[in-house]
């Protein structure tokens, strides 16, 4: 599936909550709980996303020209947020990640249920994913 298709699926999932703030937060937490467990060996300082108030670990690997992500956080809602990004970007090509336009956040009204600090952290996660994509793209060019 394309990045935009996945975003549209996320928008559709959130639309079922009909803007209910409490249900939305609980759903985001549930998404984090469903995420595959990140091996402890990957929870290193090198994999910590800088700029997040919570601890967020993000690891990327490449297979057959596509990038795969593993992530975790020490807080439930942040883990749910990073799970959305993993869902969108997992298995995508570096150039598709770099050229992506994330629109799902506005469409689901994410700014209503995550504060400024968490919003800054979310942007830091996106930045880290794009840095990984840039690194893998450069590696492929060699």
Give 86-123 pLDDT, tens digit per residue. 999 999 999 999 999 999 999 998 888 787 777 888 99
- A 10 A CB-CB count for 67 gives 22
CATH number where 39 lies: 3.90.1010.10
| Total structural domains within the chain | 1
pLDDT for res 51: 87
* Domain containing residue 94: 3-141
Which residues 6+ apart lie within 8 Å of 120 measured at CB? 51, 52, 53
**Nearest C-alpha neighbor of 127 from the set 92, 91, 93, 82:** 82
Report the distance separating Cα 15 and Cα 101, nearest Å.
20
Catalytic-residue membership of 47: no
- For the entire predicted model, the pTM comes to 0.94
pLDDT tens for each residue of the chain, 142 residues long: 999 999 999 999 999 998 888 999 999 999 999 999 999 999 999 999 998 888 999 999 999 999 999 999 999 999 999 999 999 999 999 999 999 999 999 999 888 878 777 788 899 999 999 999 999 999 887 7
Residues in the chain: 142
Q: Which of 29, 52, 97, 114 is catalytic?
A: 52
């Amino acid at each position: 599936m394309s990045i935009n298709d996945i975003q549209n699926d996320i928008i559709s999932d959130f639309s079922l909550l009909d803007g209910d703030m409490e249900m939305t937060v609980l759903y985001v937490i549930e998404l984090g709980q469903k995420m595959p467990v990140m091996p402890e060996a990957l929870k290193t300082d090198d994999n910590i996303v800088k700029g997040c108030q919570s601890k967020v670990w993000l690891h990327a690997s490449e297979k057959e020209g596509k990038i795969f992500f593993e992530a975790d956080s020490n807080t439930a809602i942040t883990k749910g947020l990073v799970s959305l990004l993993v869902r969108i970007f997992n298995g995508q090509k570096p150039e598709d990640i770099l050229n992506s336009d994330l629109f799902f956040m506005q469409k689901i009204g994410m700014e209503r249920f995550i504060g400024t600090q968490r919003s800054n952290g979310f942007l830091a996660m996106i930045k880290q994913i794009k840095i990984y994509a840039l690194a893998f793209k450069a590696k492929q060019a060699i």
